[in-house]
Amino acid sequence: MKQWWKESVVYQIYPRSFADSNGDGIGDLNGITEHLDYLQDLGVDVIWLSPVYQSPNDDNGYDISDYQAIMSDFGTMEDYDRMLSEAHKRGIKIVMDLVVNHTSDEHQWFVESKKSKDNQYRDYYIWKEGKNGKEPNNWGGCFGGSAWEYDKETDMYFLHCFSKKQPDLNWENPQVRKEVFDMMSWWCEKGIDGFRMDVISMISKDPAFPDGEVRNGLYGDNGPFVCNGPHVHEYLREMNQEVLSKYDIMTVGEAAGVTIEEAKKYAGETTGELNMVFQFEHVELGDHRIGKWSAKEVPLKDLREAMNRWQINLEGKAWNSLFWDNHDQPRAVSRFGDDSPMYREVSAKMLATCLHMMKGTPYIYQGEELGMTNAYFSKLEDYRDIESINAYHEYTENGLAGKEEMMNCLKEISRDNARTPMQWNTKENAGFTTGTPWIKVNKNYLEINAEAEMAEKDSVYNYYKKLIRLRKENEIMVHGRFNPLLEEDDHIYAYERLWEGEKIVVACNFTKEVQACDLFRGLEDGKELISNYKEHKTGVLQPYEAIAVLCK
């Protein structure tokens, strides 16, 4: 089968925040359909749709109560089918979010499982006896508290690596795997084009369930015992045989805690599991004194070292996914660029160049193509995210962080920064809804919005559009080997791509100061593919300048 996913650019939609068609303040499927022309204009090939399944929304749809029904807030199955066919008409593929490490506690399987120890669904989930009247071990859940919830009815605990409304499925049970595979086939038969697999590296747990190390916070880290567990590759190969290999689809696994060696198994050219994984090293750097919460900037050297390592070591063996942000991360320009009015546009374009010129499939998170910024909410009431709210309480109420310190961390890191509504135009609520938006719109929508940027030749939007087009015109952008340059530089991220006698040299200034750079001396005959400045001055890079030059 043709590996079309290598040539593609993927656009992630977080449906709740994309476009609301019926005025209830919540984005929906018809809202997406109405904006497919926009995505076609941008030129993306694939949409990764965050979950749209029926869900009580404890974690905005990542807690699914019925995998074969659509969340009523988002519309109906007819709306879904229409969106799928309208996307296909425009040559845009749809990749579904597959959340099968856990379900909602309101899923019928769990409702049954909870009823009694001998219920036929009991073993669909991970139930354990308590230890000395306490939880089976010291693991913490990703959204705060213990990872175990006590059930009075049967006097046992069930495991939930995320919220207590997200019980973990027991993948050791062949019946669970069969149910999941059947459900996946059902979606494939509908004509979808792939799956992004939520926390798929967590589906096989260490059977010993040992205590985890308590580093910061109140609970033990379960990472080493739930990520990349003993049977994960076996299960994914089975999934590949039973489902994936039968369809022309793309797959990307979200693989928390994955090493390069592991990634070669998940996404190896010949290992028969998935097409690629998301790894998180470059977004998890920095100070971890209060869990993932840190307001400190990461030095370019560390960032580059992490990203280059993946570029170099997967070469020829597995395929990279490239991203700066998604629905779980702060906004790219606020985190890695400079979102002040002076440098927002130029630094957003610089980041785009740096990422899209690398080897792998680039992912754009909705609004990134406009250079949307963090929300920087200053009141806790403005936050909606379960992770942010729980972390605030857990850390401040147990004396692990000060209130102001924690609010500053939320401003920099909270997932809600990425979840504020898409900024379409200058109308009320940025054109996202005619009602009251479920989360506040970023105040800067009068300056930053799609309508204005589509009309402005030099906008961030038109820059992304050009980058996407360049990928279609230059095979070297897809297949060229990556070779790092200036590896000791503190300010410039530079590399080259090499392919059949051609070469692209890329340099990105990650600072607001002018930096000396001799990389382009002698390349005057090369063709400038793209740059965020009108003119490149030989010998230097202007503040946040990015440039890519093709040489034959």
Q: Nearer to ligand GLO by C-beta: 413 or 477? A: 413
* Phi, psi dihedrals of residue 252, rounded to the nearest 5°: -135, 125
Binding site for ligand GLO (CB under 6 A): 59, 62, 99, 162, 198-199, 254, 327-328
Least distance in angstroms from the C-beta of 368 to ligand GLO: 16
- DSSP run (H or E) holding 334: helix 332-336
Please provide residue 310's backbone torsions phi and psi, each rounded to the nearest 5 degrees.
Answer: -70, -40
551, containing H or E segment: strand 546-551
Minimum Å distance from CB 253 to ligand GLO? 12
Element (H, E) at 176: helix 174-190
Q: Among residues 104 and 373, whose Cβ is nearest to ligand GLO?
A: 104
Instruction: Compute, in degrees rounded to 10, the torsion defined by CA atoms 522, 526, 529, 534.
Output: 60
Pick the catalytic residue: 73, 198, 339, 385? 198
What does the alpha-carbon distance between residue 43 and residue 464 come to, in Å, rounded to a whole number?
Answer: 9
Catalytic residue, from 59, 105, 135, 254: name it. Answer: 254
Minimum CB separation of residue 283 from ligand GLO in Å reads 11
Closest separation in Å from C-beta 199 to ligand GLO: 5
Q: Centre a 10 Å sphere on the Cβ of residue 246 and count the other Cβ atoms it contains.
A: 12
Respond yes or no: is residue 385 known to be catalytic. no
Query: 549: which 2 tokens?
Result: 């030059």
**Closer residue to ligand GLO, CB minimum distance, 53 or 80:** 53
510 alpha-carbon distance from chain centroid: 22
Report DSSP letters for 218-233, one per residue. Answer: SSB--HHHHTT-TTHH
Q: How far is the CB of 252 from ligand GLO (least distance, A)?
A: 12
| CA-closest candidate to residue 293, choices 409, 123, 372, 148 | 409
Nearest-approach distance from CB 526 to ligand GLO, in angstroms: 40
How far is 548 from 530, CA to CA, in rounded Å?
6
**Tokens linked to 122:** 């009991």
For the bound state, the minimum distance from the C-beta of residue 254 to ligand GLO, rounded and expressed in Å, comes to: 6
Cβ proximity to ligand GLO, 102 vs 497, nearer residue: 102
Residue nearest to ligand GLO (CB): 62
Q: Which is nearer to ligand GLO, 412 or 545 (CB)?
A: 412
Please state, as a whole number, how many other Cβ atoms lie within 10 Å of the Cβ of residue 342. Answer: 12
Instruction: Give the span between the Cα atoms of 88 and 127, in whole angstroms.
Output: 43
Q: For residue 424, what are its two tokens?
A: 């379409």
162 vs 463, beta carbon nearer ligand GLO: 162
Helix, strand, coil content of the chain in percent (nearest 5): 35, 20, 45
Residue type, 25: G
Q: Which is nearer to ligand GLO, 149 or 453 (CB)?
A: 149
In this structure, the strands spanning 93-98 and 46-49 are: parallel
* CA–CA dist 467, 469 (Å, integer): 5
At closest approach, how far in Å is the CB of 277 from ligand GLO? 13
Q: Is residue 198 annotated as part of the catalytic site, yes or no?
A: yes
Nearer to ligand GLO, 59 or 105 (CB): 59
Tell me the three-class secondary structure of 504-545, residue by residue.
EEEEEECCCCCEEECCCCCCCCCEEEEECCCCCCCEEECCCC
Question: What residues are annotated to the active site?
Answer: 198, 254
